[in-house]
Amino acid sequence: MRLTAIDTSGAKPALTDTEDLAIARLIAAAAQGDIEACFELGVIWSTGGHGLDCDLIEAHQWFNLAAAQGHQEAAWCRTDISDEMTAREIAEAQRRARQWMIEQRKCA
């Protein structure tokens, strides 16, 4: 077989160092209990911001973590994206949120 062309029409650029760093900083802040960082991560994942693909499971997880700490807008966003998710996807997001909380307690 001989390769004559490569279809790059669906290709997306890799994250830039700046985008990687911004997300890493938000995750680090979330690990320190920053509910705004959790909310922002939910926004990023729900909208596909910072060059990431939209991932409603990941978004729900972060909105859930922020909402659990009293962030009202995160609770609304979590409810909003839940309408677009299956019961299994929601259960997976909840499992991930619980796991995150368990892991953060171990580090404290």
Report the distance separating Cα 83 and Cα 60, nearest Å.
Answer: 11
Ordered by start, the domain boundaries in the chain are 17-107
Question: pTM of the full predicted structure?
Answer: 0.81
pLDDT tens figures, 27-60: 999 999 999 999 999 999 999 988 889 999 999 9
Compare 17 and 40 and report the one with higher pLDDT: 40
DSSP characters over 45-74: HHHTGGGPPP-HHHHHHHHHHHHHTT-HHH
Number of H helices and E strands in the chain, helices first, is: 5, 0
Q: What is the pLDDT of residues 63-104, one digit of tens each?
A: 999 999 999 999 999 999 999 999 999 999 999 999 999 998
